[in-house]
Copies of this chain bind each other. A is one copy, B any other.
């Protein structure tokens, strides 16, 4: 099927690449942090994922952001804007949703562009 799967597990793969497009979902790994911290944590993991694919932030096409508490939206937005590469923002949907762990404040689904060579 020409799908490249990174770390396929029994519930999900870390990344799937098909037709020059990479799909993945990132969650924070330290849920003791506040919204700013969890967002920075998640985005650092996203940057590692991009690096693993030979990519960087300029490859981002689309991000769907789920936040569990809209009163902390400003903190997420600040961390998000601080992280993005200027002039290279993806499109973005952002909604409130309860997440699978009550301690988790943010989850993001990413789509990124992959060069032909991959």
Alpha-carbon separation in the docked complex, A86 to B9 (Å): 8
CB interface residues, A 80-102, toward B, < 8 Å: 80-81, 84, 86-100
Contact of A88 among B8, B59, B89, B111 (CB under 8 A): B8
Q: Which of A3-53 touch B at CB < 8 Å?
A: 3, 5, 8-16, 18-21, 23-25
Residues of B within 8 Å of A107, CB to CB, are 93, 95
CB-nearest residue of chain B relative to A27?
B93
Q: Are A23 and B62 in contact (CB under 8 A)?
A: yes
Are A8's CB and B95's CB within 8 A?
no
Q: Give A contacts to B, CB under 8 Å.
A: 1-3, 5, 8-16, 18-21, 23-25, 55, 58-59, 61-62, 64, 66, 70, 73, 77, 80-81, 84, 86-100, 107, 109, 111, 113, 115
Nearest first, the 4 A-B pairs at minimum CB distance are A12-B92, A96-B98, A95-B97, A23-B62
